[in-house]
Amino acid sequence: MFQKKTFVLTRQHARRGRQFSPDTVSTPSPNPPLANKPSNFAGPVVLCLLVMLSHIAISGGRVAVSLTALQLGQGTLEVGILIAVFALLPMLFSIKAGRLIDAIGPWKPMRASIISVAAGTFLPVVWQSLTGLIIAATLIGVGHMTLQIAVQRQMGLSTGEERLRNFSWLSLSMATSGLIGPLLAGVSIDYLGYRSVFVLLAIAPLGSLVGLMRMRRYLKASHTQTPVVTQKQSVSDLLGSPSLRKVFVANMLLSTAWDTHMFVVPIFGVHVGLSPTTIGFILASFAAATIVIRLVLPWIQHHVRPWQLINFALIVTALNFLLYPFFEQVWILVSLSFLLGLGLGSTQSSILALLQQHAPNGRAGEAFGLRMALINGCQVALPLAFGALGTLMGVMPLFWVTAIGLGAVRWFTDDAEKHETPAALVKTDSPTSQKQP
């Protein structure tokens, strides 16, 4: 009787997938536990929404901080310092932020970064002075930088076409928030005032924080501990890789072209007698083009390899800057800005995918951080360098200097595809080949 009952119980437990034999050693399932699988809040789309809400705060915050400083009676120098502060500390600390994310995973850095953005956005509501605005710009800039690196690293854990698709969605979300943020800031100041605008902008990162809390278990479970490295690592290791070096150089010049357009076109417009509304319309056509191209980018990337797309954008952008100062007709300038937006807006997802492919295992966050440091360095140095150069040479040579630089980079990246390997197309940042959403 005892043996019969034991057999029945054993059979019942076996049906449930359980075994109680004393000689059996329990081993973990190769599949992740159900609790670790991403919920409906944990896909790439939601990650894009989180970074988009944060980007609304920084893109709108630049406008709101600048206009508030002017309203407080500050001069052009102080406004320039405020704009530089948004990028100064990110330039200095983005590589360390990337290393930290590689070491401890995305959850804690993302939580701290969103809190930083929310605090920086809300600070001018209660403290409107030059010091308060500088602290606000610092908190927003550093917070958004850290969040962006963490999200880029997380989106890169997929493989192949899925990775390109994820980065395309991320690029589209950034383009959309880049259009919404300044518009929201300008309208809010006109109708609600210089304090209420920061209240509205602070709502965006608070919404991002709510979404992040729903993703906590997934983000914690998605981090894979990398092996302890005894050999000293440095940024020179990343720059020493021919594949990564070409990506960094191309990204830096394309980012410079983006910032040059935003910086030089208003000066050029005033030089040829265009009204502020017309200049704004020209810049808006550029922003609209970045959204348009990113809507169709997943289809384009299905037919065009990343370096083909980057090299084509370098050629189109260089020709655009070469021709731009020869025209004063508004419809031509609008068309050139739109074409420029199509070219520059098509490259970000390819660059992010290439960085993820070629970064050493466990150092993808550091690679994204180095990219961010180079971009922020350009954003700090470009207005100063081009301002001095424009004073000596005028506005038109600024376009041509940028065109020459883009042409030189196109020559530098001519053999970039030779460094591509089939293995790189499926590489992930984890030791396994398991896909992450």
Residue 234: count of CB within 10 angstroms of its CB: 10
| Lookup: tokens for 66 | 């600048």
Q: Which residues of the chain have pLDDT under 70?
A: 1-42, 76-77, 80, 158-160, 222-235, 276-277, 383-384, 387, 391, 416-437
Q: What is the pLDDT of residue 338?
A: 93
| Lookup: tokens for 65 | 């901080």
Q: How far is CA 64 from CA 7, 8, 188, 341, in A?
A: 74, 73, 9, 24
Q: What would the CATH number be for the domain defined by 236-424?
A: 1.20.1250.20
Q: What is the pLDDT of residue 419?
A: 56
Within 13 A of 282's CA, how many CA atoms are on the CB side? 26
With beta carbons less than 8 A apart as the criterion, state whether 426 and 337 touch. Answer: no
Rg (CA), the chain: 25
Q: What is the pLDDT of residue 281?
A: 75
Q: What would the CATH number be for the domain defined by 44-223?
A: 1.20.1250.20
User: What's at 116, amino acid-wise?
Assistant: S
Q: What angle do CA 430, 435, 436 make, to 5 degrees?
A: 80
Q: What is the pLDDT of residue 139?
A: 92
**H or E segment and range at residue 180:** helix 160-191
The 10s digit of each residue's pLDDT in 249-307 is 888 888 888 878 877 777 788 778 877 667 777 877 888 888 888 888 878 878 888 88
The 10s digit of each residue's pLDDT in 294-325 is 888 878 878 888 888 888 999 999 999 999 88
Residue 373: count of CB within 10 angstroms of its CB: 23
The 10s digit of each residue's pLDDT in 135-173 is 998 899 888 888 888 887 787 776 667 777 777 788 788
For residue 161, what are the contacts with CB-CB under 8 A and spacing of at least 6?
301, 302
CA-wise closest residue to 53 among 233, 184, 187, 220 = 184
User: What's at 350, amino acid-wise?
Assistant: S
Q: How far apart are CA 298 and CA 275, in angstroms?
A: 37
Q: How far apart are CA 108 and CA 215, in angstroms?
A: 12
| HEC profile of 326-349 | HCCCHHHHHHHHHHHHHHHCCCHH
Ranges of each domain in the chain: 44-223, 236-424
Q: What angle do CA 302, 173, 189 make, to 5 degrees?
A: 155
Q: Fold match between 44-223 and 236-424? A: yes
Please tell me the pTM assigned to this model.
0.67
Which residue has tokens 């901080």?
Answer: 65
Q: How far is CA 328 from CA 143, 288, 325, 400, 432, in A?
A: 40, 21, 8, 16, 56
